[in-house]
Chain A
Amino acid sequence: MASSSSSSSCSSSSEKKITLKSSDGEALNVEKNVALEFEPAKGFLEDNSEEADDEAIVVPLPNVSAAVLSELIPYVKQRLELSAKPVQKKLIKAFDDQFTRHLSDDKLGELMLAANYLGVNYLLDVLCDVTADRIKNKSVEYVREFLGIQNDFTPEEEAELRAQCPWAFEGVDQD
C-alpha cells in the first residue's frame, strides 16, 4: 500500500505510530502527527494521554471504512509535509487538484463525509469546491440526479417556487 511504503522510507525511528481502527475492523498504523489531524483521534489521544506506550493505543473510528482511511492517510501525510515547508499556495493547490481530479462521484461523497466526521477542514474545503464544480451550469434535474435526491415537491409546489424567483430560472443552458 502506498501509505506504508512511503511512511517506511521517510519516517525515523523517533516518530511514534498510532493504530487507527476502521468501521470495518481493520487496524491501520499511522504516524502520530497524521492521527492528530483527525479530530476524533486527537480527542481520544488526549483522553488517554496517561497511557505510556502510544504503540498500545488503538483509536476507534467507527464512521470511516478502511478503504477511505487508506486514501485519506497518504493525502494528509503529504499535505502536512507540504505545509511544513515554505511552499507556495500554488503547489498545494496542484497537489489537491491531483488528488481530486480522478475521484468518482461516489468516492467524492464518501470522502466528504469522512472529512467532515474527522474534521479535516482543508480537505473538506477542497471537496466542496470539486462538488460545486461538478454541478456548475447544470439544470436542477441534473443536480438532483447527481446528488441522488428524491424530488418531494408536488408539481404545483415546484411551479410556485419557480414563480417566486423567476429570474433564477431564465436562460439555463442545456446539460
Chain B
Amino acid sequence: MRSVGDHINELPDDILVNILSRLTMKEAVRTSIISSRWRYLWRGFSGCLNFDDPFTMANSKWPHLNLKSGPINVERHKFVNWVNQVLSSLEGHCTEELRICFDVFSNHDIDNWIKFASERRVRRLELDFSRVVYNLRFVGQYTFPSHLDFYSSFRHLTDLSLTTVGITGEVLEHLLCYCCPVLEVLNVAESSSLTSLKVSGPSLKLKHLKLNKLDNLKDLQLHAPNLLSFEYSGPILPFSFRNVPNLVDASFWGCFSAYIAKNLCQHSIFLVQLHTLKLDTCHLLIGDSEYRAGRYLHDIPEMCNLKHLEIIGTPKVNDLLFCIALLEAAPSLYKFSLKLVSQYDYESYESVKTIKDQPYLSFTELRSIRVVELLGFVGHTADFELVMYLIFRVKLLEKIIIDPCPTWRVGTPAELIWRETAEYQSARRRAFELAAKFPLWEFVIP
C-alpha cells in the first residue's frame, strides 16, 4: 500500500515546516534525523517553544537531587544554554508561544529572550523564574525592563503570563496601552514591585485577568469593558467592579476572598452579573466569631445568573453553612463544586461540629442544581454526611463527581504519585462504598 509519504515528499518545504510546527518542540527537533531533506527543516519551527523544568517534563517522579549549590548552578547553566542554543538555531519569522519556566538568574539572557519574543511576533509569552527542587523553592531576581524601545512591538501578543518577574505598574500599563493591542489574557503573580495598577485603555481587548499573590499592591483600578474573567488573590483593596460590565467569571482566594464573602451585599450589582463564582472560605474560619455566629449568612444578595459555584473549604459546619446560604441565593445554579482542603486535622476533626449537629438545617429542595463535584474527598464521616445532605436537598441531581485527589496536587507531578498511594486508594474505596448506597444517582469517581 502507498503511504502518506508518496505524496508528502512532493510537498514544498514550507508545508512540511507547517506540519512540524504543530508538534512539540522536542518532536520537531527529532525530525532532523529523519533524512537529509528534513535535517534543517525544524529551524523554521514556529510552534510552541516550551522550556520547562526538564525534570517535571521528563518524569513525574521527584528527581533525586543533590541540593548543594554546585549541581543547581550547573543545572541553571545547562538550562540557559539549552534555551540559547535552540533560540539561536531558529530561522523563522514568527513563533506561536515562548514559555520559559525555571529559576534562571542570568538577567542578561532573559533580556535577550524577551527581545526574541518581540522580534518573532510571539503570540503567547510565559515567564516563570521559580522552581521547586524537592521542598525548596528557588526564585529568580529578574525585573522586566523599563526601557521600552525593544519591546515596543508585541503587536501579536494575545497571552502574557509573568510569575516571579518584577514588573512595575508603569511598565505593565505601558505594555497594555501601547505595546500589546491584541492582548486578551494577562496573568501576573508574585511581583513585589507591582504597587499600583490601572487596567484601562480606550481600546483594551483584555478578556481574562489574573492577579495573584501581589503582596505590595496598594491600588488597583479596573476599566476593562471586554473583561470576562477575573481572578484575584492579594491584599484587601477596595477596588470597584463598576467598570467591568461583561465580567461573568470571578475567582477570589485568600484574605480577599474572605473580605468579599463578608461584604457580599456591598457587591450585589456585581454578583448579579456573574455566571461563575469561585471563593475560598479557608480565611473566613480563622478566629472570626462573627462568622461562626453566621452573621454574614443573612444578607447574601440573590445571584440570579450564577451557573457554577466553586468553594474551597472544609466539610466543617461553619463552611457548610456559608456554602448552603450561597446555594440558596443562586436560583439558576447548575453546578456546585466543593474543593475540600487536604490535610485537615483528622484528630481534632472528631470534635468539630458537622451536619448532624445542625438539626435545624433546611431540607427544602434546591431545584436547579444538576451536578455536584466533591474534590479532595477523604471519606470521613463528615464527607459522607455532606454528600447525603446534598442528595436530600438536590432532588434533580444528575451527577456526583467525587475525586479523592487533593486539589492542590491536580496537574502537578505530585498528582500521579498521590494517585498511587494507599491513602488515595482507601479514600477512593470509601467513595465507591458511598456510591453503592445511592444506586439511583450517577457517581463519577476517577
Chain B interface size, under 10 / 10 to 19 / 20 to 34 / 35 or more = 35 or more
Which of chain B's residues have a CB closer than 8 A to the CB of A147? 3-5, 8-9, 34
- The answer to whether B26 touches A110, judged by C-beta atoms less than 8 angstroms apart, is no
Segment 121-175 of A: residues with Cβ below 8 Å from B: 124-125, 128-129, 131-137, 140, 143-153, 158, 161-162, 165, 167-172
Assess A165 versus B29: contact at CB under 8 Å? Given A113-B11, A151-B35.
Answer: yes
A109 at the interface (CB under 8 A from B): yes
Q: Which residue of the partner chain A has the closest CB to B3? A: A148
Which of the residues B6, B22, B35 comes within 8 Å of A150, measured between beta carbons? B35
Minimum C-beta distance from A139 to chain B (A): 8
Minimum C-beta distance from B89 to chain A (A): 9
- The answer to whether A148 touches B58, judged by C-beta atoms less than 8 angstroms apart, is no
Q: Which residue of the partner chain A has the closest CB to B28? A: A168
- The answer to whether A132 touches B23, judged by C-beta atoms less than 8 angstroms apart, is yes
Which of the residues B7, B23, B33, B34 comes within 8 Å of A109, measured between beta carbons? B7
Assess A116 versus B15: contact at CB under 8 Å? Given A106-B4, A147-B5, A149-B9.
Answer: yes
A108 at the interface (CB under 8 A from B): yes
B368 at the interface (CB under 8 A from A): no
B356 at the interface (CB under 8 A from A): no
- The answer to whether B3 touches A145, judged by C-beta atoms less than 8 angstroms apart, is yes
- The answer to whether A152 touches B30, judged by C-beta atoms less than 8 angstroms apart, is no
- The answer to whether B5 touches A128, judged by C-beta atoms less than 8 angstroms apart, is no
B422 at the interface (CB under 8 A from A): no
A112 at the interface (CB under 8 A from B): yes
B238 at the interface (CB under 8 A from A): no
Which of chain A's residues have a CB closer than 8 A to the CB of B7? 106, 109-110, 112-113
Minimum C-beta distance from A55 to chain B (A): 33
Which of the residues A105, A158, A169 comes within 8 Å of B4, measured between beta carbons? A105
Identify the B interface with A (CB < 8 A).
Answer: 1-12, 15, 18-20, 22-24, 26-27, 29-39, 54, 57-59, 82
> Nearest 10 pairs between A and B by C-beta?
A148-B5, A109-B7, A132-B22, A168-B29, A148-B3, A109-B4, A147-B5, A105-B4, A171-B58, A113-B7
